[in-house]
Amino acid sequence: MSGHPPVRTIQGTTRLYAVLGDPVAQVQAPALMNPVLAELHRDAVVVPVHARPQHLEAVVRGLQQVENLDGMFVTVPHKAAVRHLADRCGTTVDIVGSANVLRREADGTWLAENFDGSGFVAGLVGAGHEPRGSRAVLVGAGGAGSAIAAALLAAGVDRLGVYDTDTAKLTALAARLDGHWPGRVHTLSGPNPRDADLAVNATPLGLRADDPLPFPLDSLPPGCVVADIIMKPRETRLLREAAARGHRIHHGIHMLEGQLNSYRAFFDLR
């Protein structure tokens, strides 16, 4: 029908990419990547795969044996665990301790990399929120949060405060980051982003309508940018309430959009 996208034909020659998560209803990678594959006339498709944490290793090991599967995208809550299921890890993965993409190499081994952080910073800069020289607070030191922390420091953030309810995970991340950017990382005793130019939610809080706010908004200074990495819903409660208070907001989809060029290069989609 006129105005509708062409129907993709899945056939015996089609190459596969899987998106692993729990849940997966919110994932945006298929909607972002499948049009790219179609534009490049690639006989390939990106599909969501719902994998519970207790089944992750079995799912990944099974997918690694699927001969026409070329890669995997990884989302919440598997980014830290999946790195141990790859044969090799990129430098970013070693620094942040998590991965968000795996690629089958020519010899059949699997390489893990993480573009969450670079994508987040690219999205920030593209939206006019330059992080260099700023004071940032990041709530959530999980897979995506760890990558974002490293990327913000690499982008020139003067001071980065990080909080997570898992103190062991928080301490370990701060130690790894301090080895590369000494004196610029500070662990916080609570999710309180006062004195911040940029406040980032890197927790899953906001996926559900009844979730509490990941951090309070009443202590944010005027002009603070409030960013969320949750992509669906687009307007999380955090972003709605921050906008109502007059803060500039930054949507989660920008992090994925900022990774598009990295994905294209990583999977040789030129």
Residues with active-site annotation: 79
Q: How far apart are CA 181 and CA 70, in angstroms?
A: 35
How far apart CA 255 and CA 270 sit, in angstroms, is 21
- Which helix (H) or strand (E) segment holds residue 149: the answer is helix 143-154
Question: Residue for token digits 């059949």?
Answer: 108
**3-state DSSP: the chain helix, strand, coil percent, rounded to 5?**
35, 20, 45
| CB contact at 8 A, 198 and 135 | yes
Residues paired with residue 19 on neighbouring β-strands, in sequence order: 48, 73
Residue type, 64: Q
* Rounded distance between C-alpha atoms, residue 65 and residue 88, angstroms: 17
- CA distance linking residue 118 with residue 194, whole number of Å: 25
Q: Report phi then psi at 127, rounded to 5.
A: -90, 5
